Amino acid sequence: MYWGKGFLFLTILCTHLVLAQQTVTGRIIDDNGDNLSAVTIVNMSTDKKAYSNSMGMFSIEANSNDELRFVKEDFKRVSRRVLTDGANTQLLITLFQIPKDIGEVKIVKKLSGDLEQDSRIVAKVDKGEQVKQAVGLPEPIGKMREKPAEVKSVLLPILLGNLNVQGVYDLVSGKARKQKRLYKYDDLQEHIEWVRSRVEDDYFVKAGIPDNKISEFIEFSFVAKPQVRTYVKARNLSGALLRMEEVIPLFIERLKNSHQ
């Protein structure tokens, strides 16, 4: 009897969950009315993803009041709450293309902190950099720091009869290994600071990242999306922010799991 009651309860519960979740469908167009394909649709509550087809059509499972986020490179991001009144009508989503700056580059001190607008703006241009380019000052190649000894560059001369005493010492003592580890850490901190010095904390906080986790998130984005760091090295802020935005849901979910 108890088994029968338990089975009945589980059946009712599963039926309720299935009925509560619905498939939301829709079409995505640009501001000219043309269909947009390869748009990423993310359910921010479940982290489920879907993509629009060549006709701009998409479908994704969602529950009442779930937030769907629509993301495509070179377009402004759009968010939409679905099934707020229980209805399952087809959505029509319009994405607006980000204007490309082909004229004068405007220099700003920092981003405004508006996640919707700032994630696509052109990277800041340094005045000092403009002056150096104007007068033709040569750029130093790499950083001015001691190069760690390499096994190949030390052992090969030994075979030819040339002994690099300092190089051998650096390898044997572990100094070269420590230098590499230190340089790697210094470069990481420099890249994190480069982003933080150009972006207000509110930019990340409004996206759901606690202010005490901002540096951790930036480092996480370097690992989860290596292109982020590539853009940082190229001093391309807009490209870095665009790629960072793609891993925000992953980081937030990771924080939620760590608190459970």
| 69-113 residue pLDDT tens | 999 988 999 999 998 876 777 899 999 998 765 555 554 555 555
Of residues 72 and 6, the one with the higher pLDDT is 72
CA distances 227 to 74, 224, 243, 246, 254, Å, are 16, 9, 7, 11, 20
The DSSP element (H or E) to which 34 belongs, if any, is none
At 242 the three-state DSSP class reads helix
Q: What is the pLDDT of residue 228?
A: 92
- Weakest-pLDDT range from 10-14, 57-61, 221-225: 10-14
Q: What is the pLDDT of residue 247?
A: 92
CA distances 188 to 20, 52, 185, Å, are 45, 36, 5
Q: Are 122 and 150 in contact (CB under 8 A)?
A: no
Q: What is the pLDDT of residue 89?
A: 78
Residues 6+ apart with CB under 8 A from 220: 247, 251, 254
Q: What number is the average pLDDT over the span 134-163? A: 56
Q: What is the pLDDT of residue 152?
A: 59
- Weakest-pLDDT range from 121-135, 173-187, 195-209: 121-135
Beta strands in the chain (DSSP E): 22-30, 40-43, 49-51, 57-62, 67-71, 78-81, 91-95
pLDDT at 28 exceeding the cut of 90: yes
Angle at 58 between CA 54 and CA 63, to 5 degrees: 170
d(CA 125, CA 121): 12
Q: Are 242 and 225 in contact (CB under 8 A)?
A: no
Would you say the C-alpha torsion 149, 151, 153, 158 has a positive or negative sign?
Answer: positive
| Domain at 22-95: CATH code | 2.60.40.1120
Long-range contacts formed by 200-207: CB under 8 A, 24+ apart: 200/110, 200/111, 200/112, 200/113, 201/113, 202/113, 203/111, 203/113, 203/114, 203/115, 203/118, 206/113, 206/114, 206/115, 207/115, 207/245, 207/248
Q: For 99-137, give the DSSP string.
A: PP--SPPPP-SS--S-HHHHTTSPPP--HHHHHHHHHTP
- What percent of the chain lies above the pLDDT cut of 90? 32
- Weakest-pLDDT range from 26-35, 86-95, 167-176: 167-176
Q: Give per-residue pLDDT as tens, 187-216.
A: 889 999 999 999 888 889 888 899 899 999
Of residues 170 and 98, the one with the higher pLDDT is 98
